[in-house]
């Protein structure tokens, strides 16, 4: 009877050998991210037929169709393929972490770290962080992606990004976050505006003038909320998703703008001068800048070190 129990325990604990290889997982992820087999084959330095065969073998092992392949139309992931892509990205990251941990590289980080940043923050926030972190870890490749908050958060949840720098606006509850610093919204005016010499500007004094609205979610909603809080309804004349375009339109005298990011240069690309003014009705308004990552995803050592570096950089240590 004892022998029977021992055999039962041994059988129940026997690990299951995966039916697919890491190579097949890598090929599938690369193909899904590239959009076409030809592009993926170039990235992987393999033949297109070999790549296609590997994906076929992966589908057979998983007993499910992962993608639809059509000539001249690239590949389209099935619902099962989208879930597999998410899981296999995580798997490949874990394998990379394992290799780094057992390779004897010590404190040297290697591999790839993918960082996203809200589009208007990127030009001033990312360069110093990327430069400083890369100098500490020269063997690590840091990629970055700019985008709107909703797009970046989708990429985080899909495993396309490890971390993202976002405003504290409409951040999903699934996100872990740390605050880096805060910024205050301001009014941007052309240098020859009638209120350019005032220390502060009331939004009610601009209500009859056209507004240039930065329409990159969630900036537009936040701007309109600020106006509502101040008790005014802005006259939106122009909308743009480009931060410098908004500044250029203001510089041309085509309206005023409410922005958060404040470049040190007070001139537009055309050399026209603009001025930044505090909002009189909202003296305490401030928005935090966050570093975010998905709660359900185990953070890699690379990501954890980047978080630590950003927090130390915030403290000036």
Q: What is the pLDDT of residue 19?
A: 80
Are 257 and 178 in contact, with CB atoms under 8 Å apart? no
> Which mean pLDDT values do the consecutive 10-residue runs of the chain (317 residues) have?
49 68 88 88 88 89 88 83 85 74 58 91 92 91 92 90 94 95 94 95 96 92 93 96 95 96 88 95 89 88 92 66
- The architecture (CATH level 2) of 14-86 comes to Orthogonal Bundle (1.10)
Are 268 and 247 in contact, with CB atoms under 8 Å apart? yes
Could you tell me which CATH class the domain 105-181+290-315 is placed in?
alpha beta
User: pTM to 2 decimals?
Assistant: 0.70
Which residues make up the CATH 3.40.190.10 domain(s) of the chain? 105-181+290-315, 185-285
Segments in 252-315 forming alpha helices (H)? 301-315
Domain 185-285, CATH:
3.40.190.10
Per residue in 68-95, is it b (16+ CB within 10 Å) or e — as a string? eeeeeebbebeeebeebbbebbbbbbee
Distance, in Å, from the CA atom of 123 to the CA atom of 207, rounded to the nearest integer, reads: 31
Q: What is the pLDDT of residue 317?
A: 40
Bridge-based pairing state of the strands 235-240 and 274-279? unpaired
Q: What is the pLDDT of residue 284?
A: 81
Which residues make up the CATH 1.10.10.10 domain(s) of the chain? 14-86
Q: What is the pLDDT of residue 250?
A: 97
């Amino acid at each position: 009877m004892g022998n029977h129990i021992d055999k039962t325990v041994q059988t129940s604990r026997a690990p299951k050998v995966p039916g697919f290889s890491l190579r097949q997982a890598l090929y599938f992820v690369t193909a899904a991210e590239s959009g076409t087999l030809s592009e993926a084959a170039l990235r992987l330095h393999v033949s297109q037929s070999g790549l296609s065969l590997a994906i076929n073998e992966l589908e057979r092992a998983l007993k499910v169709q992962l993608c639809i392949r059509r000539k001249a139309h690239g590949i389209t992931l099935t619902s099962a393929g989208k879930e597999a892509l998410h899981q296999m990205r995580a798997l490949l990251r874990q394998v990379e972490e394992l290799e780094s941990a057992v390779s004897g590289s010590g404190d040297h980080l290697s591999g790839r770290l993918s960082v996203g940043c809200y589009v208007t923050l990127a030009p001033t926030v990312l360069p110093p962080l990327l430069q400083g972190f890369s100098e500490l870890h020269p063997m690590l490749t840091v990629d970055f992606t700019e985008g709107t908050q909703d797009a970046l958060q989708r990429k985080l949840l899909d495993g396309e990004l490890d971390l993202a720098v976002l405003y504290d606006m409409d951040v999903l509850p699934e996100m872990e976050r740390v605050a880096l610093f805060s910024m205050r919204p301001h009014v941007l005016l052309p240098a020859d505006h009638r209120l350019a010499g005032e220390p502060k500007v009331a939004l009610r004094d601009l209500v009859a003038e056209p507004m240039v609205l930065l329409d990159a979610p969630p900036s537009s909603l936040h701007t309109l909320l600020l106006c509502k809080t101040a008790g005014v309804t802005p006259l939106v004349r122009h909308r743009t998703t480009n931060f410098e375009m908004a500044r250029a339109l203001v510089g041309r005298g085509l309206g005023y703008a409410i922005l958060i990011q404040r470049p040190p240069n007070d001139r537009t690309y055309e050399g026209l001068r603009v001025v930044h003014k505090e909002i009189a009705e909202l003296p305490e308004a401030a928005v935090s800048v966050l570093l975010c990552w998905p709660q359900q995803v185990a953070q890699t050592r690379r990501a954890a070190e980047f978080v630590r570096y950003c927090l130390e950089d915030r403290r000036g240590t």
